[in-house]
Amino acid sequence: MKRRTFSSHCLGAASAAALGGLGLAPWLAHAEAPPVDGQEYARLSSPVSIESPGKVEVLEFFWYACPHCFHFEPVLEPWVKQLPADVRFRRVHVSFGEFRKEFHQRLYYTIEALNLVDTLHAKVFERFHVQHRPIDREADLIEFARENGVDPDKFKSTFNGFTVLTRGKQADRLTEAYQVDGTPEIGVQGRFRTAPSMVRDEPRSLAVTDYLINLSRKSA
């Protein structure tokens, strides 16, 4: 399966500043034109089971070492914080069957298992893309835990534990079921997927996701 990449096309600094001055989130500037089916989003050929019946499930497929995921994060985070109560957002770390990505996948699910996503998720991205100190080996893992005040033995045992391995396998199944072939991508309600690479713009991809959330509500 081809694992694609893309060039990010974000709002210019001046436009973003103007929107901020109006109290508007950047993605709202892209909300006027209705998304094009088969172009800005895709319908899955086979529906995928969701974990949260009664809610609209939104998944972000990502990889810690992906520069596009790193650039998407500051756009995604404020959007996630304003999601309504009937929407459940989850991150899914891909592995694509590659050893390095699988190591990073286990890192994410270790952080999740320890309930440290809110405090450590952004720090992992910063270490990879700002400090240029990737976490690719057990020694890096232990160093990262110590730097952030986490018991390294607990971090390591969780990293190698059954829960993390199980979550990784579940993530791999979701990646295949949603036909994800690059990062970042967004899955909605087991029926749709979209991505900044499909719309050639990060904020616009969230406007498309909003559209798909509403579409899922109407067909529930």
Instruction: Examine residue 113 and state whether it is found in any structural domain, yes or no.
Output: yes
pLDDT of 2 > 90? The answer is no
When pLDDT is averaged across residues 211-216 and rounded to a whole number, the result is 96
Structural domain count, the chain: 1
Q: For residues 182 and 4, is the Cβ–Cβ distance under 8 A?
A: yes
When pLDDT is averaged across residues 167-180 and rounded to a whole number, the result is 97
Q: Which pLDDT score, from 0 to 100, does residue 8 have?
A: 36
pLDDT digits over 57-115, tens only?
999 999 999 999 999 999 999 999 999 999 999 999 999 999 999 999 999 999 999 99
pLDDT of 28 > 70? The answer is no
Q: What is the CATH number of the domain that holds 118?
A: 3.40.30.10
Q: What percent of the chain has pLDDT over 70?
A: 85
Confidence at 32, pLDDT banded by 50, 70, 90: low
Instruction: Examine residue 19 and state whether it is found in any structural domain, yes or no.
Output: no
Instruction: Examine residue 26 and state whether it is found in any structural domain, yes or no.
Output: no
pLDDT digits over 150-163, tens only?
999 999 999 999 99
Confidence at 218, pLDDT banded by 50, 70, 90: confident
pLDDT of 194 > 90? The answer is yes
Lowest mean pLDDT among 24-33, 161-170, 183-192: 24-33
Instruction: Examine residue 2 and state whether it is found in any structural domain, yes or no.
Output: no
Instruction: Examine residue 35 and state whether it is found in any structural domain, yes or no.
Output: no
Confidence at 40, pLDDT banded by 50, 70, 90: very high
Instruction: Examine residue 25 and state whether it is found in any structural domain, yes or no.
Output: no
Instruction: Examine residue 164 and state whether it is found in any structural domain, yes or no.
Output: yes
Domain residue limits at 91: 41-218
Instruction: Examine residue 185 and state whether it is found in any structural domain, yes or no.
Output: yes
pLDDT of 22 > 60? The answer is no
Q: What percent of the chain has pLDDT over 90?
A: 80
